[in-house]
Structure 1
Amino acid sequence: MSASDLDLQDEQKSFDGKFVLPTNKSIGAEKIAPDAIDEPCVYFCGNSLGAMPKRAAELVKEELDIWGSRAVEGHFSHPKQREWKDIATLAATELAPLIGASEDEIACMASLTSNLHLMMNTFYQPTPTRFKILCEYKAFPSDQYAFNSQASLHGFDPKDTVLEVQPRPGEYTIRTEDILDIIKKEGQSIAIVLFSGVQYYTGQYFQMEAITKFAQEQGCVCGWDLAHAIGNVPLSLHDWGVDFAVWCSYKYLNSGPGTLGGLFLHQKWDKLTPKFAGWWGHDPDTRFDMPPTFSPAPGAKRFAQSNPSVLATTCLLGSLEVFKEAGGIQKLRGKSIRLTSYLEKLFRSSKFFVEAPSLEQQQTKPCFTIITPSNPEERGAQLSVLFAPSGVMQKIDNGLKLRGIIGDERRPDVIRLTPIPLYNTFQDCQKAAIALDESFEELV
């Protein structure tokens, strides 16, 4: 079946009109046909920064108008019933179905790494015998910095404290059995298990439920960085018993560059008192009475410190409206699997594709492989494409941009290409595959 036929059968294709995408002209796509220069490019970089929802722009304009007309009264009296004092709670309510949690288990606040530190300050309570932090090899750098600084803060050498699970020789992703094996062997010395839900570099979707359960059986706390998982794959944090999780919202949640983060705290931890209390973590029923003694808000919201940016939260609400209209994360996941599988099929049919074990032997002939798991249950929307020999990736990336394809390069040799079900199509996948082959043809 052709890409155009697949798009015709797609019930959710209409949602690509709800986002603003860069045009071929705006990204300098010089090798695009003249009659397509003003059309949207193929934006396969939503794993790094999501496209702008038109609804987010509309809501921000509304808030700016209300700021001008109501000023401080917008906190308590809002013509659209989005009182600013409650806007983070409104966002948490809308987020709950995406992560499988109750509204009280969610706090929309701050940024990913600051929330990670808050949760680690709460849950990382090392002892001389149980002090290690277990994570994946090559976790996102900000996570690595957080792990190392938390270890140092408690007087431990990060080299002895941060335990990384690596892929087996010749492989690119981590086997679940290897993670569980290390937890079993090292469990009595591990204080906290903290992986990415979806690994940012390879796109691997970890078996969160199994890892969480096994870690907790060994007496470890288990938390998750959901930066690349939230809005990408279905999650059931409450039912899985996850202790805590943190995320940003500017990737698959499309809330805009550098906007609001969030955290999840399982209701079993409702009695925890924050070490670093702030005004917005106080009980909302008495917050504006300005009492001198901190009385924690229900659930995860007790960890909030300052009032959130209304404009940033509004951007998130605009995107979450589109998620709801599209039928929720389960329905979007179905389309995501179809899109990514189609893109993988097209890439594998290229004469420049090689299976992963053969790639390292290619020292002269330009070629590529895919290091993201082929099993749809073990990945999200992303395909991480590895190029050889060294130096080829930058040339291919430039060739793709000239043909209207925006991916995300990760030096030295990887481009991440991510068909997003909310705004990408099967024809986008076909254009990317053609552009990839044409870019390779220029090298040989």
Structure 2
Amino acid sequence: MSCLESAILLDSQDALKKYENEFYKNENQFYFDGNSLGLLSKRAENSLLTLLHSWKQFGIDGWTSGEHPWYFLSEKLGEKCAPLVGAKKEEVILTGSTTTNLHQLLATFFRPTTERNKILADELNFPSDLYAIASQIQVHNLPEDHLKLVKSDDGQTITTNAIIEAMTDDVAVAILPAVLYRSGQVLDIAAITKAAHERGIVVGFDLCHSIGSIPHQLHEIGADFAFWCNYKHLNGGPGSVAGLFVHEKHFGTMPGLAGWFGSDKTKQFDLATQFTPANTAGAFQIGTPHIFSLAPIEGSLSMFEEVGIDAIRKKSLQLTGFLMECLQQEIPNVFQLGNPTDETRGGHVFLVHEEAASICKALKEAGVIPDFRAPNGIRLAPVALYNSFEEVWKVVQILKDIMKKETYKKFHNEREIIA
């Protein structure tokens, strides 16, 4: 069976096919960058307009009136998000941004002692996490080498054994991604958590490239905390409010960075000079919720509630597997695969080529939206809710044509600098 015939068959069997019509997709464009920014859905647009109308209609009373009162909106959406990370509803709150949440969690859980005063991360982690970790180390007046990085043997992946071997007696906290942002490798966070706790290490995870794409069981495995953005696979919109998880065993821990909206809701408007934190993950909020940046997530999460993360993961694996199969059939030996080929891959395929930047430009010219990662990587992320198998086939045909005709050579092989 040809790739096209397989695509038609797979689309005919796809239980999620109908959700494609929920999203705004440009005609003659193939959007394969949902792991950087998800597309706008009609439900997200509607929930944003609904919240905007509540401001128009109620003014200050929007905090307690309307379809989605603002006062409890972060908690309400945290409850909806909890099944995606395998958490109890009280363990999740939508607040802040990825990096501010990481700062909050490190300010809370990184309490260095003479014996334990290092933070463990990996060298393939997203740089923003490393910047935040380094600055927290600086806040404690510790040397730069107290950020301990697990090394990669191939520049694309990290082994669980390498991570565990780096968990020495001087490590206080470990911060690791659930999915590596370049290669899409899924880390074994259950094994990592178990090993960390056996060694007295607090462990937290960055879920930016995994939430909405793969299932998690954060409560069950006993992860201490996690943090993520909601604008990638969860389609919450550019700069949408982020999320964090804190295991219930840590409820009652004083947040490292206290703020008014982290108060016990029954006492928040007492306006006492002494902070009384909520006895949930809500305690780790700092500022007033950004209502209009939360609003689209309400609509988006309603689809995840209907579909369930297991069904999304199943189709995601089918899409990326089909993409790799078509590449092998149509363009063999042109690209090196930088992602795992088994089920330890996340929601994208990572192609390695020395002309990656110019190839990405040629793809965009031809109507395909990929993602370039310096120095030589192309990320292609077909998304379960809005990409089809036939789209995957068409993208491979476009890529095949670009490579055959070498049209990429008319572009400079470097990232464009945004003025």
Using structure 1 for the length normalisation, give the TM-score. Answer: 0.88
Q: Give the corresponding residue for 1:155.
A: 141
For residues 6-42 of structure 1, the C-alpha deviation after alignment (integer angstroms, 9 at most, x for no partner) is 1011011000111112x2xxxxxxxxxxxxxxx2511
Shift of 1:84: 0.9
Q: Is 1:220 equivalent to 2:183 in the alignment?
A: no
SS of equivalent to 2:166: helix
Q: Percent identity at matched positions? A: 36
Offset at 1:171? 6.0
State yes or no: 1:385 paired with 2:351: yes
**Given residue 387 of structure 2, which amino acid in structure 1 is its aligned partner?**
N
Equivalent residue for 1:88? 74
Q: Is the 8 A contact 2:38 2:234 kept in 1?
A: yes
Aligned pairs for 1:305-320 within 5 A:
305-320=286-301
* Selected match of 1:140 from 126, 130, 151: 126
The counterpart of 1:231, out of the listed 212, 229, 247, is: 212
1:203 equivalent to 2:166? Answer no
Alpha carbons of structure 1 residues 139 and 17: separation in structure 2 relative to 1, 3 Å = same
Partner of 2:402: 439
Contact map agreement 1:279 1:306 (CA 8 A) in 2: yes
- Give distance in 2, aligned partners of 1:400 and 1:127: 52
Mapping 1:45-444, distance limit 5 Å: 45-78=33-66, 80=67, 82-158=68-144, 160-168=145-153, 170=154, 172-183=156-167, 186=168, 188-325=169-306, 327-351=307-331, 353-354=332-333, 367-376=334-343, 378-388=344-354, 392-443=355-406
Q: Report the 3-state secondary structure (helix = DSSP H, G, I; strand = E; otherwise coil) of the residue aligned with 2:129.
A: helix
CA distance in structure 2 between the aligned counterparts of 1:126 and 1:427, rounded to whole angstroms: 53
Q: Counterparts of 1:320 and 1:99 in 2: how far apart (Å)? A: 13
| Cα shift readout 1:342-395 (whole Å, capped 9, x = no counterpart) | 0111112244x43xxxxxxxxxxxx3211011111x11111111103xxx1122
Give aligned pairs, total.
Answer: 403
> Of residues 19, 29, 32 in structure 2, which corresponds to 1:15?
19
Partner letter of residue 173 of structure 2?
I
CA distance in 1, matches of 2:390, 2:350: 19
> In the alignment, what sits opposite 2:410?
none
Kindly indicate whether residue 7 of structure 2 is the aligned counterpart of residue 3 of structure 1: yes
CA distance in 2, matches of 1:128, 1:148: 18
Q: For residue 279 of structure 1, report the CA deviation from its aligned partner.
A: 1.2
Distance change (3 Å), C-alpha of 1:350 and 1:171: farther
What is the SS of the residue equivalent to 1:210? helix
- Deviation at residue 138 of structure 1 after TM alignment: 2.7
Which secondary structure state, in structure 2, belongs to the residue aligned with residue 349 of structure 1?
A: helix
Contact preservation (8 Å) 1:399, 1:435: no
Note the residue ranges of structure 2 that are not aligned, 5 or more in a row: 408-419
Q: CA deviation at 1:163?
A: 1.7
Secondary structure at the counterpart of residue 254 of structure 1: coil
